[in-house]
Amino acid sequence: MSFEFPELPYSFDALEPHIDARTMEIHYDKHHRAYFSKFTDAIKGTDLADKSLEDIFAKISGASGAVRNNGGGFYNHILFWNSMGPDGGGDPSGSLATAVNSAFGSADKLKDEMSNAGATRFGSGFAWLIVKDGKLAVTSTPNQDNPLMDVAEVRGEPILGLDVWEHAYYLKYQNRRPDYIQAWWNTVDWNAVAKRFEKAMG
Ligand code: MN
């Protein structure tokens, strides 16, 4: 596959006041871009160059650290950007809401569980809402790993991703990761999450 660095789907200040424009600019234009270019450098001329990210992640235990960390970083941030939007917040609706209520009891309980997964992820990583065996589940991964990787403790199809690396919040929230996570829920684009849910459910 030939990989491309995608446009951010909204402006840097679109998620204010929950996520500040300067953080978004550095996060997208420095951190995400660096993962992308290091990933494409790492696979150049190898047999991974014509594989999809999903195929690479399914056998990531056999790949180099550069491919694992930067390929994960490339993918995870695309999902993260597309988990948020300027009209975000509120609760899921439709069939996603039904599945959330069935798996967690309520949208608030899902938010509590995922917030806790992000807050207690030691060091850097991501919290995820995934589809696993046709059901919703919350999990988290260290560093730039994700639930598509064969090294993940809990594997599944990610439909919502929360970046809890310090670079995602430190300028505005400093050490207060739980405050960042609470604010982040106001950015979540549930329509986008619902589309990924429908796709994952086939
Ligand atoms: Mn990040």
Strand partners, 125: 142
The Cα 143–Cα 69 span in angstroms is 7
The two three-digit tokens of residue 176, written as one number: 């207060």
Amino acid identity of residue 105, one-letter, is G
Res 2: pLDDT: 83
Distance 163 CA to ligand 1 centre (A): 6
What band does 32 get if pLDDT is binned at 50, 70 and 90? very high
pLDDT at site 161: 98
Residues with CB under 5 A from ligand 1 (ion): 163, 165
The per-residue pLDDT for range 143-187, each reduced to its tens digit, is: 999 999 999 999 999 999 999 999 999 999 999 999 999 999 999
**Could you report the per-residue pLDDT of 57-102, keeping only the tens digit for each?**
999 999 999 999 999 999 999 999 999 999 999 999 999 999 999 9
Write out pLDDT tens, residues 109-147.
Answer: 999 999 999 999 999 999 999 999 999 999 999 999 999
Query: 122 C-alpha to center of ligand 1: Å?
Result: 15
Residue 138: strand, helix, or coil: strand
- How far is the centre of ligand 1, averaged over its atoms, from the C-alpha of 69 (Å)? 12
> DSSP alpha helices (H): ranges in the chain?
21-26, 33-43, 53-58, 65-81, 94-104, 107-119, 170-173, 177-184, 190-201
Backbone angles phi, psi at 162, to 5 degrees: -120, 115
Residue 1 DSSP class? -
Distance from the alpha carbon of residue 102 to the mean position of ligand 1, in angstroms:
31
Beta carbons within 10 angstroms of residue 78's beta carbon: 17
* Separation of CA 101 and ligand 1 centre (Å): 29
Residue 24: phi, psi to the nearest 5? -60, -40
pTM to 2 decimal places: 0.97
With cut-offs at 50, 70 and 90, classify the pLDDT of residue 1: low
The alpha carbons of the chain give a radius of gyration, in whole angstroms, of 16
**What 3-state DSSP class applies to 77?**
helix
What distance lies between CA 191 and its chain's CA centroid?
Answer: 16
pLDDT score of 80: 98
> What are the residues whose beta carbons fall under 8 Å from the beta carbon of 175, sequence distance 6 or more?
none
